[in-house]
Amino acid sequence: MKKPKVFIDGREGTTGLQIFDRLGNRSDIELLLIDEDKRKDNKERKALLNKADLVFLCLPDVAAIESVSLIENNLTRVIDTSTARRTSPDWAYGFSELSKEHLERVRHARFVANPGCHAAGIIASVYPLIKLGIMPEDYLLSIFSLTGYSGGGKAMIKTYTEEKTPDMYAPRLYGLDLKHKHLPEIQYVTGLSNPPLFCPIVDDYYSGMATTIMLHKSMLNDNPNPSYIRQAFEEYYKERFKEREHQIFVSPELGSGTLSSNWGAGEDSMRITVSGNDEQIIVTAQFDNLGKGAAGAAVQNMNIMLGI
């Protein structure tokens, strides 16, 4: 059987390197490589983009859009890890665990938009609550999200490892204008009618992420307690998927003590934990921002698209 040819456009970036690490030793695909001195040569890139059966775009938005314009055939399939197409109806949203419809659309799509890192944890928590009728679509949602500095890409990694200033030894809030680039994606996929109040936090560790949504029981339908919501998540994710590529797991117990934001670093799975009391509830998704939040999710989508 002929091996699918795969090309990573933008392999030198953080996500591209992570995808390359995951694919480098695989024997079920043929990885197309570009010479280092030709990685910005559009003629060479164009040839590889059109030779590949599937392409990963690990580029800034404008460059990712340009790459697609270089593809002149109707066969090459594309996974875009940038923010450029995450709200486009012409691109499948690459989060197969959300529903069977998402899974089938990814399986048959030519163009797939890979989820953003913060967005992945938030959507995994919010989407089921809305679909199950627990959270109203007009819920005024508050979110905080902790991430390692690798989420900021090569520039932030260099700053933390080579140019660290005293304030970088402590957690730092950012996105203080409350217009984070993942908000349109979160609303588009979940169906929330109001933008969430979202403040991300970066801290002095390499990778790992914990996104937390905060809920008032009295503002949810049927006044559910934490145990009810935990069971709802467990049934939602367990009943819908028995596929090998399913990567979301629900903690069997309610949260107590502490939850680490670097749980699962180096892995491609996500764990959802429900915590709280009789009046207030939090739902936390823990995962690697480079794994299920980026490269791991992209490779998962490739496996589904190629039937591997």
User: Residue 39's pLDDT is what?
Assistant: 74
Examine the domain organization and report whether 260 and 299 are in the same domain: no
CB-CB contact of 143 with 215 (8 Å)? no
* Of 72, 74, 18, residue with least CA distance to 45: 72
Examine the domain organization and report whether 124 and 273 are in the same domain: yes
User: Residue 97's pLDDT is what?
Assistant: 94
User: Residue 246's pLDDT is what?
Assistant: 76
Examine the domain organization and report whether 228 and 96 are in the same domain: no
Examine the domain organization and report whether 110 and 173 are in the same domain: no
CATH of the domain at 73: 3.40.50.720
Examine the domain organization and report whether 236 and 225 are in the same domain: yes
Mean pLDDT of successive 10-residue segments in the chain (308 residues)?
A: 93 94 95 85 92 97 96 97 97 95 96 97 98 98 96 92 95 94 96 96 96 97 95 88 74 95 93 96 97 97 95
User: Residue 239's pLDDT is what?
Assistant: 67
Examine the domain organization and report whether 135 and 260 are in the same domain: yes
Strands 172-173 and 248-250: unpaired
Examine the domain organization and report whether 124 and 54 are in the same domain: no
Examine the domain organization and report whether 160 and 282 are in the same domain: yes
User: Residue 117's pLDDT is what?
Assistant: 96
Catalytic-role residue among 6, 84, 92, 117: 117
pTM, two decimal places: 0.95
Count the domains in the chain.
2
Strands 270-276 and 248-250: parallel
| C-alpha count within 13 angstroms, C-beta hemisphere, residue 47 | 10
Examine the domain organization and report whether 181 and 101 are in the same domain: no
The dihedral over CA atoms of 106, 110, 303, 100, expressed in degrees to the nearest 10, equals: 10
What's the CA gap between 35 and 45, in Å, rounded?
Answer: 10
Return the structure tokens found at 173: 């809030």
Examine the domain organization and report whether 195 and 210 are in the same domain: yes
CATH of the domain at 145: 3.30.360.10
Examine the domain organization and report whether 222 and 283 are in the same domain: yes
What's the domain range around 130?
A: 117-289
Q: What is the phi-psi region of residue 136: left when phi exceeds 0, alpha when psi lies from -120 to 50, beta otherwise?
A: beta
User: Residue 240's pLDDT is what?
Assistant: 61
Examine the domain organization and report whether 280 and 145 are in the same domain: yes
The reply to whether 199 belongs to the active site is no
User: Residue 220's pLDDT is what?
Assistant: 97
